[in-house]
Amino acid sequence: MSRSIFERVVFSYKFYRLLEALPGLISWTCIAIPIVFSFFAPDIAAYFVLFYGVYWVYNAIKFVVLAYVAHEKVLYVVKQDWLAKLKQEFPEHWNEYYYCAIIPFASESINIIRPTIESILNNNYPNNRKIICLSSEKALPKGKEIALELQKEFQSRCAYFFVTEHELKPGELKGKASNQNHAGRFVYQELTSRGINPERVLLTSNDADMINHKEYIPYLVYKFLLEGENRHKRIYQPVPTDYSGAVWDARFFSRIIVTLGVQWRLALSQRNNYRLTVYSFYSMSLKTLHDIGFWDVDNIPEDERTMFKAIFTFGRGFSCQFHCLSPLPVGLMQAQNICCRCERAVYTNAPMGLGSFGVCPFFYQVC
């Protein structure tokens, strides 16, 4: 059956390219308006520049206030013993929950992955309620060897330590998303076959080079239980706020970029209009992941795509929750060229991507 004119237009390559270019076109239009109108209608150009200036002064003040509020919340949360709070406020329920970290990796060395696993096992939460899944790539056979070695080293310290290997299939794009999709489905099948309820498993998309804060898991369980009936319509997003690493050894402009990026994310976390978005390192229940259809395999930036899938699944009932305890990149601390790592991290996690990282989510929302 032939497709309608609407379908032929919407799914055409030219329309796809238009949507890709639209964010840039809007930005350049705003820049060009005062210049163009200054020749033909200087009054309009003057009002536009005045409005633009007032608007950004207002945003700057709001940015400072919200970032300060978020910073104070982080300082409060860091000082608490969240396992003790769990035992006090949810004495009959907290120990029913498992924590599962899915760690997809490709070329990372064992020296990068080991500290990540150790940070999970050193968290202030019972190790018999922790699950770790290492997912390597079949195209890189050494990854399977690393995973098995780490399994042998750590499996006695947690409830389950799974090792799986992702093989790229037709229609999949090479990257974190397709690997995580495989690992997520693998974990779901393994745990349900063991009689573990997906509603009782909190799962984290854990980059291979991310060190967990020691209170990350109990605080996550605490926030999850506070959400009541809506707990399975939430994704929990930490903001990178730890400045104790080697970032201070970076060059001046790199430190400025990283610091502003962190403050921006902190400010967004205090706004209740879906401005806090999912990226890089985030948590949800295994039931939530199953309900949204796991991760998509045909895109590179899986984080924001996951959030939009949750929005389309749960509608207005969904929200992204601010998790005040932040992970710290292992690679950031160990990299010799810290400047390049900082700049790359800021680019790929920017709120408004400059390349395909910003375009893909935009196109997904529209289509």
Q: What is the mean pLDDT of residues 142-171?
A: 94
> Collapsing DSSP states into helix, strand and coil, what is residue 323?
strand
In this structure, the number of other CB atoms found within 10 A of the CB of residue 207 comes to 19
CA distance 201 to 288: 10
Q: Which residues pair with 166 in a beta bridge?
A: 137
Residue 4 or residue 49, greater confidence: 49
What is the helix, strand, coil percentage profile of the chain, to 5?
Answer: 60, 10, 25
Asked if 183 and 104 count as a contact pair (C-beta separation under 8 A), the reply is: yes
pLDDT: which is higher, 201 or 262? 201
Q: Which of 38-52, 86-100, 194-208 has the lowest mean pLDDT?
A: 38-52
3-state secondary structure of 159: coil
State the pTM of this model.
0.80
List, for residues 3-17, the tens digit of each pLDDT value. 677 777 777 888 888
Q: How many CB atoms lie within 10 A of CB 159?
A: 18
Q: Which residues make Cβ contacts (< 8 Å) with residue 15, sequence separation at least 6? A: 9
C-alpha 94: how far from chain center: 25
What mean pLDDT do residues 180-193 have?
A: 96
C-alpha span between 16 and 275 (Å, rounded)? 25
Q: State how far the Cα of 10 lies from the Cα of 14, in Å rounded to an integer.
A: 9
Q: Is 127 exposed, middle or buried (0-12, 13-18, 19+ CB in 10 A)?
A: middle
Contact criterion met (CB below 8 Å) for 94 and 87? yes
Q: What is the pLDDT of residue 71?
A: 87
pLDDT value, residue 131: 97
pLDDT given for residue 241 in this prediction: 60
Region 20-48: mean pLDDT is 88
In b/e form, how buried is each residue of 64-73, taking b as 16+ CB within 10 angstroms?
eebbeebbee
Residue 75 has pLDDT above 90, yes or no: no
Where is average pLDDT lowest: 244-258, 282-296, 315-329? 244-258
As a whole number, the mean pLDDT across the chain is: 84
Alpha helices in 158-280 (DSSP H): 176-193, 216-226, 252-269
Please give the Cα distance from 296 to 283 (Å, whole number).
17
Q: What percent of the chain shows pLDDT beyond 90?
A: 47
What is the pLDDT at residue 348? 37
Contact 223, 236 (CB under 8 A): yes
Largest Cα span, the chain: 75
Question: By the 8 A CB rule, do 333 and 246 touch?
Answer: yes
Q: Where are the beta strands (DSSP E) in the chain?
A: 98-104, 130-137, 160-166, 201-205, 210-211, 234-238, 282-285, 319-323, 328-329
Which pLDDT score is estimated for 115?
Answer: 93
Q: pLDDT tens-digit profile of 308-354?
A: 999 999 988 898 888 888 777 654 444 434 333 443 443 334 333 33
Q: Above 60 in pLDDT, residue 98?
A: yes
